[in-house]
């Protein structure tokens, strides 16, 4: 059996509930990722949350959670899907952690050089 991982795709927001564009973005990203991950047999979208960032209550984020089986292939696929469909690829962070017994997410990709921290 393949090892599973949690993957979170994070977008920054300007307000706690986001705006109409953020809602549209969430729906489109979840739709395209669910189709692409499923077609590639790499996993599925498990849900989302929107709101305050845990590490900084003055920052707001949209987190989209996925369950995946291959970190490198899944991250590459997600980046390609977001770029091809113009879904704000230049604003994302991607982090993963083991599905079983995972305690903290490890940042795997960020849109901005020099960023090393990640928090939900």
5-50 tens-digit pLDDT:
999 999 999 888 888 999 999 999 999 999 999 999 999 999 999 9
58-114 tens-digit pLDDT:
889 999 999 999 999 999 999 999 999 999 989 999 999 999 887 899 999 998 888
Using alpha carbons, select from 76, 107, 111 the residue that is nearest to residue 94.
107
Mind listing the domains of the chain with CATH numbers? 4-110 (3.30.70.260)
Residue 54, number of CB atoms within 10 A of its CB:
10
Residue 2 has pLDDT above 80, yes or no: no
Q: Is the Cβ–Cβ distance between 48 and 63 less than 8 Å?
A: yes
Using alpha carbons, select from 49, 55, 57 the residue that is nearest to residue 11.
49
């Amino acid at each position: 059996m393949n090892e599973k991982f949690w993957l979170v795709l994070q977008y920054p927001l300007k307000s706690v509930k986001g705006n109409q564009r953020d809602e549209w973005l969430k729906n489109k990203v979840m739709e395209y990722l669910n189709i692409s991950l499923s077609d590639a047999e790499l996993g599925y979208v498990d849900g989302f949350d929107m709101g305050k960032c845990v590490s900084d209550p003055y920052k707001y984020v949209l987190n989209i959670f996925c369950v995946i089986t291959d970190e490198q292939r899944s991250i590459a696929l997600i980046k390609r899907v977001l770029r091809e469909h113009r879904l704000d690829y230049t604003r994302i962070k991607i982090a993963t952690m083991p599905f079983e017994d995972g305690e903290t997410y490890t940042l795997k990709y960020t849109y901005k050089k020099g960023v090393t921290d990640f928090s939900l």
